[in-house]
């Protein structure tokens, strides 16, 4: 196994000698709350960053080890972008800093030859205190080592910054530091990530700034019912993880057009796009067999942080990544009901002619049951991946014989990965358009 590493001293020297490039500043909300922040503008997103057959490594600390944003990402790539045939491993490790991953990335990650990696460090690196130059220098040095080591091994990188802090955690590093001190620190590390991504010509995923602004807005609107950064101030619930997943999926430059179903009410003709097969069409009723799913966001209270649907109100997840469109042409009546599965919803003719997003309008739909089976299989595999690395690779078995441990645990992981593919089956569903 040929794995290349980059000496940190040489990497830091190379960074210091690199001529800085001017960065644009992000436009801030006109609110005194943001007066002390000086966020740099994110880098442009590269369209179609992912390639068919990519092997994605999702790397990070305890927030990654929660296996929520990583699970959203893997399930999304599996059912919404099946043509890409992406495989995923998650490498979250509680309490980890960039330095920790740098020291274990060869043994734990590179041995599986990823082609794409996302990183999400900085939360522990900022030490839960006000910013100091030594913190920024150490973080920059270690993230540079991570990025350059990935690049030296042919891995394309999305450098993600850490999220924001919503309340003072009980394990704060400096008892005199307040929430703003820590967030200003994380904001500095975000800017370092942007500069580093520009220098190394890798992608960037903005987790911090959207979470900071959404957290401020949701606290003002809903109080303690909605903690974007989590009830402990650091580990988000599902809504916050939707924001994180969106940040990384957005950075991949994906086309979120998952399908279009078109019905002409005058001629009675209908058509469907790639990934879907029209079985029959008669009198405004379509039977379709789909081998591509929408992301099923489920029912959930948008005023609470404990569900996926709430997160889709904080970022343009459905609008950008989750578009399954129904277009109805030549509708002679003014108002219609669209019946999809067990649910019905009313729309006027103008809305239908422009197209409605079924994935957004019907959070529970005929795909939901099959979607949950795939998602459950993803969750089970990712849970094992944590055990594989932490319990076995870094346990007594790995210390005694790493290669045998890898072989043994891969034999356990293989059927878990296969179960995801087995669960992902075509769904046959019916859409009925009726005059109200």
All domains of the chain in start order, with CATH: 11-32+50-251 (3.40.50.1110), 257-436 (no CATH)
- Give the pLDDT of residue 7: 43
Contacts of 267 (CB under 8 A, 6+ apart): 330
- Give the pLDDT of residue 22: 53
- Give the pLDDT of residue 17: 36
Cα separation, 335 vs 352, in Å, equals 9
Write down the pTM of the prediction: 0.94
pLDDT at residue 410 above 80?
yes
- Mean pLDDT is lowest, of 126-135, 168-177, 237-246, for 168-177
Shortest CA distance to 272 belongs to which of 264, 286, 261? 261
Q: What confidence tens digit (pLDDT) does each residue in 279-327 have?
A: 999 999 999 999 999 999 999 999 999 999 999 999 999 999 999 999 9
Q: How far is CA 196 from CA 96, 120, 146, 269, 410, in A?
A: 20, 14, 11, 53, 34
Phi and psi for 215 in degrees, rounded to 5?
-60, -40
Cα separation, 418 vs 430, in Å, equals 29
Report whether 319 contacts 356 (CB < 8 A).
Answer: no
For the segment 60-85, the average pLDDT, to the nearest whole number, is 98
Where are the extended beta strands (E) located within 176-220?
Answer: 203-205
Where are the extended beta strands (E) located within 295-401?
Answer: 323-329, 335-340, 343-348, 356-357
Contacts of 422 (CB under 8 A, 6+ apart): 377
Place of tokens 């993600």: 160
pLDDT at residue 4 above 70?
no
Percent of all residues in the chain with a pLDDT value above 70, rounded to a whole number: 95
- Give the pLDDT of residue 15: 41
pLDDT at residue 77 above 70?
yes
* The token pair that represents 11 in the structure block: 């990497």
pLDDT at residue 18 above 80?
no
Cα separation, 425 vs 414, in Å, equals 19
- A 10 A CB-CB count for 94 gives 14
* The token pair that represents 33 in the structure block: 């709350």
Report whether 204 contacts 196 (CB < 8 A).
Answer: no
Length of the chain: 436
- Give the pLDDT of residue 20: 45
Cα separation, 111 vs 1, in Å, equals 7
- Give the pLDDT of residue 333: 79
- The pLDDT confidence band at residue 16, using thresholds 50, 70 and 90, is very low
Q: What is the mean pLDDT of the chain?
A: 94
Cα separation, 133 vs 88, in Å, equals 35
Q: What confidence tens digit (pLDDT) does each residue in 144-170 have?
A: 999 999 999 999 999 999 999 999 999
- Give the pLDDT of residue 23: 63
Helices (H), 45-173: 62-65, 69-79, 98-108, 133-152
- Give the pLDDT of residue 172: 86
- Give the pLDDT of residue 10: 41
pLDDT at residue 201 above 50?
yes
- Give the pLDDT of residue 11: 42
Report whether 253 contacts 319 (CB < 8 A).
Answer: no
- Give the pLDDT of residue 334: 87
Sheet with 356-357: list strands edge to edge: 270-272, 257-264, 323-329, 356-357
- The pLDDT confidence band at residue 173, using thresholds 50, 70 and 90, is confident
Place of tokens 């569903």: 429
* DSSP structure class, residue 84: G
pLDDT at residue 360 above 90?
yes
- Give the pLDDT of residue 1: 42
Q: What is the rounded end-to-end Cα distance, in angstroms, of the chain?
A: 65
- Give the pLDDT of residue 3: 47
The DSSP code sequence of 214-266 is HHHHHHHHHGGG--TT-TTSSS--HHHHHHHHHHHHHHTT---EEEEEEEETT
């Amino acid at each position: 196994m040929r794995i290349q590493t980059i000496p940190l001293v040489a990497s830091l020297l190379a960074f210091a000698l690199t001529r800085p490039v001017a960065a644009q500043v992000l436009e801030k909300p006109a609110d005194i709350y943001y007066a002390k922040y000086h966020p740099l503008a994110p880098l442009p997103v590269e369209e179609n960053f992912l390639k068919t057959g990519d092997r994605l490594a999702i790397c990070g600390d305890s927030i990654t080890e929660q296996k929520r944003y990583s699970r959203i990402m893997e399930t999304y790539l599996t059912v919404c972008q099946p043509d890409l045939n992406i495989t995923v491993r998650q490498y979250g490790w509680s309490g980890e800093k960039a330095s920790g991953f740098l020291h274990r990335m060869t043994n734990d990650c590179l041995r599986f030859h990823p082609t794409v990696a996302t990183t999400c460090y900085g939360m522990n690196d900022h030490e839960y205190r006000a910013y100091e130059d030594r913190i920024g220098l150490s973080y920059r040095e270690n993230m540079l080592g991570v990025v350059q080591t990935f690049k030296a091994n042919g891995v394309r990188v999305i450098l993600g910054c850490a999220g924001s802090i919503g309340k003072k955690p009980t394990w704060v590093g400096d008892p005199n530091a307040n929430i703003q001190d820590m967030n200003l620190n994380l904001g500095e590390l975000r800017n370092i990530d942007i500069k580093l991504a520009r220098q190394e010509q890798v992608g960037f995923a903005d987790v911090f700034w959207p979470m900071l602004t959404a957290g401020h807005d949701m606290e003002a609107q809903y109080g303690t019912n909605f903690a974007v950064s989590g009830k402990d101030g650091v580990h988000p619930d599902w809504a916050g993880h939707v924001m994180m997943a969106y940040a990384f999926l957005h950075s991949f430059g994906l086309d979120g057009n998952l399908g279009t179903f078109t019905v002409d009410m005058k001629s009675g003709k209908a058509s469907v796009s790639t990934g879907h097969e029209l079985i029959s069409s008669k009198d405004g009723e379509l039977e379709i067999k789909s081998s591509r799913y929408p992301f099923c966001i489920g029912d959930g209270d948008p005023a609470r942080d404990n569900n996926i649907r709430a997160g889709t109100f904080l970022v343009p997840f459905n609008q950008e990544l989750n578009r399954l469109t129904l277009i109805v042409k030549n509708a002679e009546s003014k108002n219609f009901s669209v019946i999809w599965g067990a649910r019905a919803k009313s729309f006027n003719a103008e809305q239908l002619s422009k197209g409605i997003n079924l994935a957004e309008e019907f959070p529970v739909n005929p795909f939901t049951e099959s979607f949950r089976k795939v998602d459950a299989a993803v969750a089970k595999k990712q849970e094992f991946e944590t055990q594989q690395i932490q319990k076995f690779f870094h346990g007594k078995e790995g210390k005694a014989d790493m290669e045998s441990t890898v072989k043994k645990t891969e034999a356990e992981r293989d059927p878990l990965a296969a179960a995801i593919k087995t669960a992902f089956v075509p769904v046959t569903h019916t859409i009925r358009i009726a005059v109200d």
